[in-house]
Chains A and B, each alone.
Chain A
Amino acid sequence: DIQMTQSPSSLSASVGDRVTITCRASQSISSYLNWYQQKPGKAPKLLIYAASSLQSGVPSRFSGSGSGTDFTLTISSLQPEDFATYYCQQSYSTPDTFGPGTKVDIK
C-alpha cells in the first residue's frame, strides 16, 4: 500500500492568514492526489483533484500543487468557514489511501 503522511498534524491560524499543508506519498503517485475538507459530523468535501484542479464550486482561495511524492494545499486567506480537518488521498493505485489529516483551528 502507498502510505500518505501530512504535516503538520494540527495548526492554529487567524482569519486572513495564508496556510500551507504538506502531504507526502511513500512512492511516486504522479498527480493522482486529491484534497478534502471535513467538518465535525459531516462527510468530507472534495476541494482539489489531480493535485491542482479546483473542484467546481470551491473558492479560489484554495489551491494545490505538487507531483511525484510531495504535494501542498494552500489557503491564501483563511476564512472562518475554513476551520476544519484536511485530508489528502492518493488514487494512483488501490487501495486508495488517505493521509492522517491536518486540523486547522482558530488561533
Chain B
Amino acid sequence: QVQLQESGPGLVKPSETLSLTCTVSGGSVSSGSYYWSWIRQPPGKGLEWIGYIYYSGSTNYNPSLKSRVTISVDTSKNQFSLKLSSVTAPDTAVYYCARDNSGYGYWGQGTLVTVSS
C-alpha cells in the first residue's frame, strides 16, 4: 500500500521560501508511469494544482505559480520536494502531496503552512 507523508515548517515569513518534502513508502518515486504532484488548499477554499514531477524527472508547473515553484526528486531517499519562493499571505494553505495515475489515488494527510511574520 502506497503511503505519502508531507513534512516541513508550518510557519514561513513573507518573502521567504516555503520548502516541503513528501516521503513515499510502499512504492518507488522512480518507477512506474506516475506523476508525483503537489496540490494546495487555502483554509475554507478549493483545491489548486501546483505541479508535478514525472517518474522520468520531467516537471510541469501551474503557470500561475511557475516563476516561483521548483519540484525535485531524491530517489535515494524516495522523496520529492516542493520549493515556493517569495511567499505572501495568499500562499497560506494546506499543502498536499499526491500520486497521479488516472486520478489522484494516493494523498498525504496534508500539512498547513502559514505565511506570517
Contact = CB atoms under 8 A, between A and B. Distances in A.
Contact of A43 (B37, B63, B100, B108): B108
Given A43-B108, A43-B110, A96 B49 contact: yes
Contact of A50 (B64, B98, B102): B102
Contacts of B48: 98
A43 B64 CA distance: 23
Contact of A49 (B46, B103, B107): B103
A100 interface: yes
Contacts of B63: 1, 95
Contacts of A43: 96, 98, 107-110
Interface of B: 37, 46-49, 60, 62-64, 96, 98, 100, 102-105, 107-110
Interface of A: 1, 34, 36, 42-46, 48-50, 53, 55, 87, 89, 91, 94-101
Given A42-B109, A87-B46, 11 more contacts: A1-B63, A43-B108, A44-B47, A44-B96, A44-B104, A45-B107, A49-B102, A96-B49, A98-B46, A98-B49, A100-B46
A46 B96 contact: no
Given A34-B104, A36-B104, A43-B109, A94 B60 contact: yes
A87 B98 CA distance: 16
A59 B50 CA distance: 30
Nearest to A94: B60
Contact of A101 (B46, B98, B110): B46
Contacts of A49: 102-103, 105
12 contacts: A42-B109, A43-B110, A44-B104, A45-B107, A46-B104, A55-B105, A87-B46, A91-B103, A94-B49, A97-B49, A98-B47, A100-B46
